[in-house]
Amino acid sequence: MSDIIKAAAELLGQLRSNKPLVHNITNYVTVNDCANAVLAIGASPIMADDIGEAVDITAISSALVINIGTLNHRTVESMLAAGKKANELGIPVVFDPVGAGASRLRNETTRAILSEIKVSVVRGNMSEISFIAGLNANTKGVDAAEEDIASGDAAQAAVALAVAEKLECVAAITGATDIITDGKRIAAVSNGHKMLSDVTGTGCMTTALVGSFCGAGRDAFVAAVAGIAAMGIAGEIAFENAGSKGTGSFHMAIIDAISRLDEKILFERARINETYR
């Protein structure tokens, strides 16, 4: 059993015991799925995106998740204010740059968040993280472009490392193989099922899970690995139990699988390869 799998499983136990409050300023397409995923993994979700309370809610939370999936100027103000309060109090911030590279508003918001807020983890697809790295990103709306998907694990690792070093944070690129790095440690997670890409919001749910694990422990790298592996394992179990029924049943089965995930299942099913630079 590798050290990273053991650490991820132990963190899951801590999460279920501590039930951290996780503040999500996320998009309205997936907000219900994210809340249910956070609940299923054992944390407590709260979704407060009004500027009148975003800072106050952040102050009592164990982690803050910022997701720019459905942007408007009102919530951007709340994101920045909440992120600054989290930094002030030492609360981890997880950032999901949904669709970065697709529009001027998304690009400007991504740059503002990363320049004004110290993030603990940034999680996205290859196109989104490539944009943050300052590379040419072949974005396809909120999805990764085929060119970026086909770039391979080595290219993904190079981009993730560039972002981790640039922002001094954990950078995670999710895809067929998920790559997570803090600039020194690199983890490749091979869990998951291709049917996850047929359900809207699985990326957002993954980020919410990472936020939940960040709220339970101090090591953002382990938290990111654990959250991403948890989603991948849930996707595998959901396919085994309901994949033949269609995407609606598969969608519900994901939440079922997350709710039943425990240290033993993570131990037995996690496929994580960790290397060091």
Q: What is the dihedral of CA 41, 44, 47, 53, to 10 degrees?
A: -150
The 3-state DSSP class for residue 172 equals strand
| pTM of the complete model beyond 0.85 | yes
Closest CA to 160 of 142, 177, 146, 147: 177
User: What sign does the CA torsion over 121, 126, 127, 131 have?
Assistant: positive
Backbone angles phi, psi at 188, to 5 degrees: -110, 120
Which residue ranges make up the annotated binding site for ATP? 123, 174
pLDDT digits (tens, 9 = 90+) for 160-212: 999 999 999 999 999 999 999 999 999 999 999 999 999 999 999 999 999 99
Q: Regarding the domain with residue range 3-276, which homologous superfamily does it belong to in the CATH classification? A: Ribokinase (3.40.1190.20)
State the Cα–Cα distance between residues 132 and 110, nearest whole angstrom. 8
The predicted pLDDT at position 155 comes to 87
The predicted pLDDT at position 153 comes to 72
The predicted pLDDT at position 143 comes to 47
Backbone angles phi, psi at 90, to 5 degrees: 75, 25
User: In which residue ranges of the chain is pLDDT below 50?
Assistant: 1, 142-145, 148-150
CB of 99 closer than 8 Å to CB of 128: yes
Which residue ranges make up the annotated binding site? 47, 123, 174, 201
The predicted pLDDT at position 144 comes to 46
Which residue ranges make up the annotated binding site for substrate? 47, 201
The predicted pLDDT at position 152 comes to 58
